[in-house]
């Protein structure tokens, strides 16, 4: 990650700093400008050099994926786009669009980071989220209603949910009261 010329310069600076008296004397790191105990300087410089990008090359960031107009894409093109990034091509059109949209959002948000996750990690996250959605039987399934539910059935479901989670609620309340 570092050039030989830069390494020689840093090593000469290390030798100058180490020759100063006292191992607990604080010296400034030539790379990050942080004061470090003289005895810890070589170790600190190694970590700084590993973190630094090569001096000749700026850090290259990933280019974000373009926004797609999914209505204009044919099914075959949509499957091709999913396959290009490593996503599953199984399912209907709506599933493919949702899958690709989730991946695009994750990928584009990672582009701004110094250490973005790999495409394969993002694909796995999309798959995990999709599987979680498919299972759909979460703890709060009692609180899911459609617009055809009447008020009485909604109230019954809410009471049932409160009864099932009463111990959790009381535990949370007692822990908050203890903190106060």
Q: Render each residue's pLDDT in the chain as its tens digit; 180 residues.
A: 456 666 666 556 555 545 555 667 888 887 777 888 888 888 888 887 777 655 544 456 789 999 999 999 999 999 999 999 999 999 999 999 999 999 999 999 998 888 888 999 999 999 999 988 887 655 456 677 777 888 888 888 888 888 888 888 888 888 889 887
Alpha carbon distance 148, 7 (integer Å): 72
DSSP secondary structure string for all residues of 73-87: S-HHHHHHHHHHHT-
Quote the tokens at residue 96. 């493919």
Cα dist. 119→7, 73, 93 in Å? 33, 22, 22
Alpha carbon distance 22, 34 (integer Å): 18
End-to-end Cα spacing for the chain: 51
Q: Are the CB atoms for 54 and 66 separated by under 8 Å?
A: no
Of 96, 50, 98, 52, give the one whose Cα is nearest residue 77. Answer: 96
- What local confidence, expressed as pLDDT, does residue 5 receive? 62
Q: Are the CB atoms for 180 and 161 separated by under 8 Å?
A: no
Is the pTM higher than 0.85? The answer reads no
Beta-strand relationship, 35-37 and 26-28: antiparallel
Beta partners for residue 27, in sequence order? 36
Residue count of the chain: 180
């Amino acid at each position: 990650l570092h050039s030989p010329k830069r390494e020689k310069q840093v090593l000469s600076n290390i030798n100058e700093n180490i020759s100063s008296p006292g191992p607990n004397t604080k010296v400034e790191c030539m790379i990050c400008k942080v004061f470090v105990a003289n005895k810890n300087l070589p170790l600190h410089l190694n970590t700084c050099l590993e973190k630094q990008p090569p001096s000749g090359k700026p850090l290259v960031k990933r280019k974000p994926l373009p926004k797609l107009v999914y209505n204009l894409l044919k099914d075959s093109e949509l499957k091709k786009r999913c396959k290009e990034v490593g996503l599953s091509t199984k399912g209907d059109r709506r599933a493919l669009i949702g899958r690709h949209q989730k991946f695009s959002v994750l990928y584009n948000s990672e582009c701004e980071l110094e250490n973005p996750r790999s495409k394969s990690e993002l694909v796995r996250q999309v798959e995990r989220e999709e599987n979680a959605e498919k299972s759909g039987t979460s703890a709060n399934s009692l609180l899911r209603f459609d617009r055809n539910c009447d008020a009485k059935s909604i109230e019954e479901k809410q009471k049932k949910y409160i009864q099932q989670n009463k111990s959790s609620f009381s535990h949370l309340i007692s822990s908050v009261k203890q903190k106060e």
